[in-house]
Amino acid sequence: MKSLLERLRVRRLTTTFTILTTLSAGILIGSIAAHGVRGQETKVDSSDAAPLKVPAPRDLSTDFTKIAKEVGPAVVNINTETLPKEQQQGRKRGGQRFRQAPQNPPDNGQGDDDDDNQDQGQGGQGGQGGMQDFFNRFFGMGPDQQPDDQAHEALGSGFIVDPKGYIVTNNHVVDKADRIYVKLANDPDGNGPGHPAKVIGVDKATDLAVIKIDADRPLPTVKLGNSEGAQVGDWVVAIGSPFGQTGTVTAGIVSAKNRTIEPGARGQFQHFIQTDAAINPGNSGGPLVNMAGEVVGVNTAIFTQSAGYQGIGFAMPSNTVVDVYNAIIGPEHKVVRGSIGITFQPSISSAVQRVYGVKNGVIVRGVQPGMPADKAGLKPGDVITTINGRPVKDGDDLVGDISARKPGSTVELGYLRDGKQATATVSIIDRAKMEAALGQSGGDEEENAPNNGTDASQSRLGITVTDLPSNAPPSLHGVLIQGVKPGSFADEINMTGTEGMVITSVNKQQVHNKAEYNTIVSGLKSGSDVVFNIVDPQHPKDGGTLLGGTLP
pLDDT digits (tens, 9 = 90+) for 129-167: 333 333 444 344 333 444 555 666 778 999 999 999 999
- 254 lies in the same domain as 387: no
- 327 lies in the same domain as 361: no
**Measured distance CA(292)–CA(277) in Å, rounded:** 16
Q: What range does the domain containing 402 cover? A: 338-438
pTM score of the predicted model: 0.64
Q: Which residues contact 476 (CB under 8 A, 6 or more apart)?
A: 468, 502, 504, 535, 537, 540
**Measured distance CA(534)–CA(174) in Å, rounded:** 41
**Measured distance CA(426)–CA(410) in Å, rounded:** 5
What is the predicted pLDDT for the residue at 244? 82
| End-to-end CA, the chain | 78
Residue 41 or 518, more confident: 518
- 421 lies in the same domain as 479: no
**Measured distance CA(284)–CA(298) in Å, rounded:** 8
**Tens digit of each residue's pLDDT (9 = 90 or more) over 167-177:** 999 999 999 88
Residue 181 lies in a domain: yes
CATH number of the domain that residue 307 is part of: 2.40.10.120
Residue 187 lies in a domain: yes
Q: Which among 368, 478, 483 is positioned nearest to 429, based on CA atoms? A: 368
C-alpha angle with apex 99: 97 to 103, nearest 5 degrees?
110
CA distances from 144 to 128, 153, 211, 435 (A): 21, 10, 22, 26
Dihedrals phi, psi of 189, to nearest 5 degrees: -65, 150
- 506 lies in the same domain as 545: yes
CATH number of the domain that residue 525 is part of: 2.30.42.10
DSSP 70: H
- 256 lies in the same domain as 270: yes
Residue 237 lies in a domain: yes
Residue 9 lies in a domain: no
- 267 lies in the same domain as 370: no
C-alpha angle with apex 354: 352 to 357, nearest 5 degrees?
100
**Measured distance CA(178)–CA(96) in Å, rounded:** 11
Q: Which residues of 138-155 are buried (b: 16+ CB within 10 A; e: fewer)?
A: bbbebbeeeeeeeebbbb
**Measured distance CA(279)–CA(240) in Å, rounded:** 8
- 292 lies in the same domain as 406: no
Residues, the chain: 552
Residue 37 lies in a domain: no
Domain endpoint, select from 314, 335, 356? 335
- 77 lies in the same domain as 105: yes
- 425 lies in the same domain as 312: no
Which residues participate in catalysis according to the annotation? 172, 207, 284
Facing residues of 290 across strands? 236
- Do 169 and 78 form a contact (C-beta atoms < 8 A)? yes
Domain endpoint, select from 382, 410, 438? 438
**Tens digit of each residue's pLDDT (9 = 90 or more) over 470-479:** 788 888 899 9
**Tens digit of each residue's pLDDT (9 = 90 or more) over 205-244:** 999 999 999 988 999 999 999 999 999 999 999 999 988 8
| Rg over CA atoms, the chain | 33
Residue 98 or 351, more confident: 351
pLDDT at residue 453 greater than cutoff 60: no
Residue 50 lies in a domain: no
- Where are the strands (E) in 90-188, listed by range? 117-118, 135-136, 152-162, 166-170, 179-183
Residue 96 or 56, more confident: 56
Please state which of the ranges 114-123, 224-233, 523-532 shows the lowest mean pLDDT: 114-123
Q: What is the domain count for the chain?
A: 3
- 325 lies in the same domain as 342: no
CB-CB neighbours of 292 under 10 Å: 12
Q: Mean pLDDT: which of 105-119, 312-326, 362-376 is highest?
A: 312-326
SS (H, E, C) 409-423: CEEEEEEEECCEEEE
Q: Is 30 exposed, middle or buried (0-12, 13-18, 19+ CB in 10 A)?
A: exposed
**Measured distance CA(148)–CA(165) in Å, rounded:** 32
Residue 328 lies in a domain: yes
Per DSSP, the chain holds a count of helices (H) and strands (E) of: 13, 29
pLDDT at residue 358 greater than cutoff 90: no
Residue 108 or 36, more confident: 36
As a whole number, the mean pLDDT across the chain is 78
- 142 lies in the same domain as 285: yes
- 215 lies in the same domain as 318: yes
Residue 401 lies in a domain: yes
